[in-house]
C-alpha cells in the first residue's frame, strides 16, 4: 500500500460513512409506516340488544369511531358496517357478526333482494347468510367478527362486537393492525 492507496481507501471509507449516516435515519424515517402499528384499542362495542334481532333476518349496524389521520383527529364518524345475524335456537353462538367489507376488494356488502343471502355489488359476489361464498369471486367468505358471550335466553342481553379490518384479496383472514 502506498500513499495513494491510503488516500483512496480513506476517501471511499469517508464517502461510505457519510452515505450511511444520512441513509440509515433517512430510510428509517421513510419506512416509519411499516413499523408504526396502531395500538390495539379495538374493544367490544355494544351494537344492539339480543331482542332487537330476529332469527334469520340480518340487520346492519354502523361502527362509529374517532378517526386518526396522521396528526389530525376527526370526530366520531361511521368507519364501517357490521351485519348481525341471529342464529336459530340451540346454535353455539346466538349471534353471528359479519363485516360488511368485502374480502375481495373492499366494496360494501349488501343484503340480497330476497333477504336470503348477501351480495357485493362491485363484482357480483354472493354469500350465504352464514357468510360463506356462493361464487369463488372473493378469495374467502365474509369475515366473521368476534362477539362477546351472550346469554341466549335474555332478550335484553347486549350484543357486543369487536370490529376489525382484514386484508383484502387473500385466502387467509389476516387482521390489519
Residue 108, CA distances (Å) to 34, 41, 98, 119, 135 in order: 27, 24, 12, 9, 17
175 binds other proteins (CB under 8 A): no
167 lies in the site for ligand FES, by CB under 6 A: no
Instruction: Lay out the site mask for other proteins across 53-92 (x = CB under 8 A, - = otherwise).
Output: -------------x-x-xxxxxxx----------------
Q: Which does 18 bind (CB under 5 to 8 A by kind): ligand FES, other proteins, none?
A: other proteins
The conformation of residue 166, written as its DSSP 8-state character, comes to: B
User: 57 is in the binding site of which of ligand FES, other proteins, none (Cβ under 5 to 8 A by kind)?
Assistant: none
Q: What backbone torsions phi and psi does residue 81 show, to the nearest 5 degrees?
A: -130, 145
* Closer by beta carbon to ligand FES, 111 or else 148: 111
Beta bridge partner(s), residue 47: none
Is residue 17 at the binding interface for other proteins, with CB under 8 A as the rule?
yes
> Which helix (H) or strand (E) is 13 found in, with range?
helix 3-30
Taking the mean position of all CA atoms in its chain, how far away is CA 58? 20
Q: Please state, in angstroms and rounded to a whole number, the distance separating the CA atoms of residues 141 and 19.
A: 49
Q: Does the footprint of ligand FES cover residue 134 (CB under 6 A)?
A: no
Options 32-40, 42-50, 99-107, 153-161: segment touching other proteins (CB under 8 A) = 32-40
Least distance to ligand FES, CB of residue 164, Å: 18
Q: Residue 137 has which C-alpha cell?
A: 369471486
Amino acid at each position: 500500500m502506498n500513499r495513494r492507496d491510503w488516500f483512496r481507501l480513506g476517501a471511499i471509507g469517508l464517502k461510505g460513512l457519510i452515505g450511511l449516516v444520512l441513509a440509515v435515519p433517512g430510510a428509517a424515517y421513510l419506512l416509519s409506516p411499516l413499523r408504526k402499528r396502531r395500538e390495539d384499542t379495538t374493544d367490544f362495542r355494544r351494537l344492539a340488544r339480543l331482542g332487537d334481532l330476529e332469527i334469520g333476518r340480518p340487520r346492519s349496524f354502523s361502527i362509529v369511531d374517532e378517526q386518526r389521520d396522521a396528526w389530525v383527529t376527526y370526530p366520531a364518524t361511521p368507519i364501517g358496517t357490521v351485519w348481525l345475524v341471529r342464529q336459530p335456537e340451540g346454535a353455539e353462538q346466538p349471534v353471528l357478526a359479519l363485516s360488511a367489507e368485502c374480502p375481495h376488494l373492499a366494496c360494501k356488502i349488501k343484503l340480497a333482494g330476497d333477504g336470503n343471502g348477501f351480495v357485493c355489488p362491485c363484482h357480483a359476489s354472493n354469500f350465504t347468510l352464514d357468510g360463506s361464498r356462493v361464487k369463488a369471486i372473493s378469495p374467502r367468505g365474509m369475515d366473521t367478527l368476534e362477539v362477546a358471550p351472550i346469554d341466549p335466553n335474555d332478550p335484553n342481553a347486549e350484543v357486543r362486537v369487536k370490529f376489525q379490518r382484514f386484508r383484502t384479496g387473500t385466502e387467509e383472514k389476516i387482521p390489519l393492525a
